[in-house]
Amino acid sequence: MPEISAKLVQELRKATGAGMMDCKKALEQNNGDITKATEWLRQKGIASAGKLEGKVAAEGLVESYIHTGSRIGVLVEVNCQTDFVARNEAFKHLVKSIAMQIAACPQVEYISVDEIPTEFVESEKSIEMGREDLSKKPENIREKIVQGRIEKRLKELTLMDQPYIKDQNITVAELVKETSAQLGEKVQVRRFTRFVLGEGIEKKEDNFAEEVAAQMGKE
């Protein structure tokens, strides 16, 4: 086995974002071949997806999911860099899982916090600052409490901050990052639409008591 130099370990670490010991092990497992070591790290899901952030992801899939009963439907677009990865079963599974996640989260309106309009954030902050339970607290304490409440509220509205429905120990963002590292390509959720049967339609609500009285009057 060739000697694995610190310089080679550092080069692999810079390229993949993986930890030093993981890089050393990858190089040892692949006789010092940095290309094979990179592939090995990706197969293990260790290579950092962070190194892929600057890449352009224009391929991918548009997936649909119809929940049991056909009352809730979802369309979601998830992107990757190549058509080859778009056909990969791990990527397909990720896209389907995200579509199901969206169906299960009626409160989610945005992909990430940075998509939420500033006007909405300011409005929420104004509402929180005016709450009675904070009225007697010092200004600096109020600011901290409100900031915490706002951050929690915004995360409730964003897909990437949701606990993954199949594993509550990770978020959707972490799921996407893990899959990205596994596939060796940038993966991102671009957009989604959630359909709820009858949503937005003004429904006529009949008064049951009046209906019964009317029927009895006819008789």
- Tell me the average pLDDT across 96-107: 96
Confidence of residue 50 (pLDDT cuts 50, 70, 90): low
Q: What is the pTM of this model?
A: 0.66
Whether residue 53 is predicted with pLDDT greater than 70 in this model: the reply is: no
Whether residue 49 is predicted with pLDDT greater than 60 in this model: the reply is: no
Distance from CA of residue 217 to its chain's centroid? Answer: 58
Share of the chain above pLDDT 70, in %: 86
3-state secondary structure of 4: coil
Burial call 82-121: b when 16+ CB within 10 Å, e when fewer: eeebbebeebeebbbbbbbbbbebeebebbbeeebeeeee
Q: What are 61's two structure tokens?
A: 């899939």
Q: Which residues make Cβ contacts (< 8 Å) with residue 87, sequence separation at least 6?
A: none
Whether residue 74 is predicted with pLDDT greater than 60 in this model: the reply is: yes
Secondary structure E strands in 113-206: 163-164, 167-171, 188-196
Q: Which of 26-30, 41-45, 52-56 has the lowest mean pLDDT?
A: 52-56
Whether residue 219 is predicted with pLDDT greater than 60 in this model: the reply is: no
Torsion angle in degrees (nearest 10) through CA of 23, 29, 33, 35 = -70
- Tell me the average pLDDT across 27-41: 87
Q: What is the pLDDT of residues 159-201, one digit of tens each?
A: 999 999 999 999 999 999 889 888 888 899 999 999 999 988 8
